[in-house]
Amino acid sequence: MIRVDFNKLRFLVIDDNAHMRRILRTLLHSFGAREVYEAEDGAAGLEAYTTYLPDIVITDWAMPIFDGLELTAMIRKPGANANPYAPIIMLTGHSEKSRVLRARDAGVTEFLCKPISAKSLYQRILNVVVNPRPFVQTRDYFGPDRRRTSSSNYGGQERRGPGAAGAEIIEQQPLYNKARGAM
C-alpha cells in the first residue's frame, strides 16, 4: 500500500458552507495534513489560491460571487496564475451525468458527491497525488486529460499522442514525490 505524507501537502478548501469546510478540514487533519487554508466563496478562493499556492484544491460547485466551475476556469487559464496544473476536486450534491461531464470539461480533476465519506475523499486525494493525469492543451481546452484510459487500439482522427492535430500533451510530476519529501 502506498503511504502519502499529507503533512507535506498544502490544501485549499473552498465552500460557502462553514460546516462543510469544518468537516473537510477535520478530515484532512485526520489524514495528517497541516496546511489547510479555507475560503467561503469563489472570489475569496481565487485570492487564497494565488496567496497560498496550494497543492490540491477542494471546491464546492454552487457558491456565491462565482461558482466552482468559474473558479476552475480561472485557475486553469494558462499564464493567469502560478500553477494552472493544481488538482481540483469538485464537491457537489448533484451527481447527474451532465454535471460530471460539465465539471470534467471545465478542467476538474476529480468529482466527489455529497455527502462525502472519509474513504471517498481519501481515495480522490490519493488518486491525484499518486496518479496525476497528463494535461492537454488545445484551442478550446486546457486541463487534465479527460480520457482516463488510453487505448492503443483507437486510430481515429481524434487520437491524442505525438503528432495529434492541435493538441499538446503536458506530463505531470506526481505530487507523491513531494508527499514523500523527494522534491
Choice among 11-20, 77-86, 110-119, 121-130 with the minimum mean pLDDT: 77-86
Q: Tell me, what's the pLDDT at 183?
A: 41
Q: Tell me, what's the pLDDT at 149?
A: 57
Q: Tell me, what's the pLDDT at 168?
A: 72
Q: Give Cβ neighbours of residue 181 (< 8 Å, ≥ 6 apart).
A: 5, 8
Over range 128-152, report the average pLDDT. Answer: 78
pLDDT (tens digit per residue) in 48-66: 999 999 999 999 999 989 9
Q: Which of 1, 13, 6 is nearest to 175 (CA)?
A: 6
C-alpha cell at 158: 481524434
DSSP notation for 1-20: -----GGG-EEEEE-S-HHH
Q: Return d(Cα 103, Cα 72) in angstroms, integer.
A: 9
Over range 97-119, report the average pLDDT. Answer: 93
**Residue 80: pLDDT over 90:** no
Q: Which amino acid is at 169?
A: I
Domain boundaries, the chain: 6-131
**Grid-cell match 469538485, residue found:** 90
Q: Tell me, what's the pLDDT at 180?
A: 54
**Grid-cell match 477535520, residue found:** 26
User: Domain 6-131 is of which CATH architecture?
Assistant: 3-Layer(aba) Sandwich (3.40)
Q: Which of 92, 95, 88, 165 is nearest to 132 (CA)?
A: 88
| Distance from chain centroid for Cα 113 | 14
Percentage of residues of the chain with pLDDT beyond 90: 58
Q: Tell me, what's the pLDDT at 163?
A: 47
Q: Which residue did the predictor score with more confidence, 26 or 78? A: 26
Choice among 30-39, 65-74, 91-100, 143-152 with the minimum mean pLDDT: 143-152
Bridge partners of 13? 38, 58
Reported in sequence order, the residue ranges of the chain that DSSP labels E, i.e. its strands, are 10-14, 35-39, 56-60, 88-92, 110-113, 135-137, 142-144, 168-170
Question: How do strand 142-144 and strand 135-137 relate by DSSP bridges?
Answer: antiparallel
pTM for this entry: 0.84
